[in-house]
Amino acid sequence: MYRRLSSVLFPIVTLLLIGAVYWGYQENQEKNSILIKAETQYQKAFHELSDDMNKLNHQLGSTLAVNAASQGFQRKSLVNVWRLTSQAQSEINQLPLTMMPFKKTGDFLSHISNFAYKASMRDLTKQPLTDGEMKTMQTLFDKSSEINRDLAKVQDNVLQDKLRWMDVETALAASKQASGNAIVDGFSGVDGKVGKYEAIDWGPTVMSLYEKRTVKMLSGKPATTEEIKKKAAAFLGDSSSKGIEVTENGKGTDYATFSAFVNKGEGKNLTMDYTYRGGELIWYMNSRDIANKKVDMAQARSHAAKFLGKHGYDGMEPVTYDQYGNEGYLTFVHKQDNVLVYPENVTVKVALDNGEVVGLQAKEYVYAHRDRKLAKPTMTAEQVSKGLNPAMRESPARLALIKNEDNQEVLCYEFKGKSNGANFKIYMNANTGLEEAVEELPGA
């Protein structure tokens, strides 16, 4: 009996064993194939990075070498600097550097990219490079030469010792303090040097792109937890602050805020965030379940407007709205002297089951709201509209204050229209007649 059973099972077990071996072999082959492909991609990105950094250094040197009156060549060189730094940033993102300290170098390249882009986009015959910008260019050349030399050393080590990037991934995964790997140590060394560079004068246009909103930008005295409790109670219409919990976030930093939390039971929690200075509300959320839709967007807009008026947001006008499921999202901007001040905007979330406002994002409004002296436009809407596509004149022009790509506030005429089945807003500078921004609106 056992002999007969073994004669049946033995071939089956043998087949299973062979199948398991074959499956393991196939899995190993596929794994090796993936590893080889990844290694090839890493090596390609690294060597292209080294090559582009070398080209960048030469391009900066060429820009400095020409006569100051050669604006055409300068503009061409600056465009190439922008292109090369953008490519270098892309190549850095293709390398397994997320766990490696290389952020400072990436930020440095980002600043160079924006500096070159902003300078190349202007008319250098009318606005030539200033002495300060030429000095900055010289500094960039010197610093990029240093980075280039260090990367060249890493590249030499990679080629001579046939180093693998897959080993870098393994080393980084094994320890956050990985050392002894030539690639890791090389890149860490480059980033360490970049972090010690003295402050570079990038100019106000570039620096405005990296402006961070901190407590220092706000007026008013630092708030206390008790003051935030009272503010939260007043916002909710409660006579008592009992049951409101307040915590301070980022204590001692430039990004400190307060969070107020209220548990209303039955899955209904209210959360509010306030600024550290002045105790201004920047965010509100009522995390309740929303039932089936019974309120349309016109009614939602009315509920949102009443909510804003009740809580002190005066002179607000709706500019955009959208709907996701049973929730409506409406953006309002402040209107001053018949001008839409877009930097001062809030977004209101409305539950479409009963029209209750269940969310408010007011950070943009808080940081931008101030008394402004709005200058009169030097051109009329009719004059500006001559430079428009005829399809963009479907509605009357409105004056609007927006931030352009240089993060500067500019007075514009806002035109609405439709092109290729999509709705657009076009903002034309009210003093030059040139386009400042184009925005596609939701919905057809």
More confident residue, 33 or 47: 47
Pick from 201-210, 227-236, 265-274 the range whose average pLDDT is largest. Answer: 227-236
More confident residue, 128 or 170: 128
Report pLDDT for 431. 93
**Is domain 290-371 in CATH 3.30.70, yes or no?**
no
Per-residue burial over 250-271, b = 16 or more CB atoms within 10 Å of its CB, e = otherwise: eeeeeebbbbbebeeeeeeebe
116-127: average pLDDT: 82
Least confident of 39-48, 70-79, 320-329, 402-411: 39-48
Report pLDDT for 274. 93
- Band (pLDDT 50/70/90 cuts) for residue 307 is very high
Report pLDDT for 444. 44
Least confident of 304-318, 321-335, 420-434: 420-434
Pick from 7-21, 57-71, 180-194, 207-221 the range whose average pLDDT is largest. Answer: 57-71
- Band (pLDDT 50/70/90 cuts) for residue 6 is low
Reply yes or no on whether the pLDDT at 128 is more than 60: yes
Reply yes or no on whether the pLDDT at 178 is more than 50: no
- Band (pLDDT 50/70/90 cuts) for residue 131 is confident
- Band (pLDDT 50/70/90 cuts) for residue 35 is low
Report pLDDT for 204. 63
More confident residue, 30 or 309: 309
Report pLDDT for 413. 94
320-326: average pLDDT: 87
State the chain's mean pLDDT as an integer: 81
Report the percent of the chain where pLDDT is more than 70. Answer: 81
Reply yes or no on whether the pLDDT at 10 is more than 60: no
Report pLDDT for 214. 55
Least confident of 5-14, 266-275, 280-289: 5-14
More confident residue, 404 or 298: 298
Report pLDDT for 27. 54
Report pLDDT for 309. 94
164-187: average pLDDT: 64
Reply yes or no on whether the pLDDT at 338 is more than 90: yes
214-234: average pLDDT: 82
342-363: average pLDDT: 94
95-99: average pLDDT: 63
More confident residue, 133 or 265: 133
Reply yes or no on whether the pLDDT at 106 is more than 60: yes
Reply yes or no on whether the pLDDT at 69 is more than 90: no
298-321: average pLDDT: 94
Reply yes or no on whether the pLDDT at 406 is more than 90: no
Reply yes or no on whether the pLDDT at 26 is more than 80: no
What is the pTM (predicted TM-score) of this model? Answer: 0.64
Reply yes or no on whether the pLDDT at 209 is more than 60: no
pLDDT tens digit string along 372-396? 899 999 999 999 888 887 777 667 8
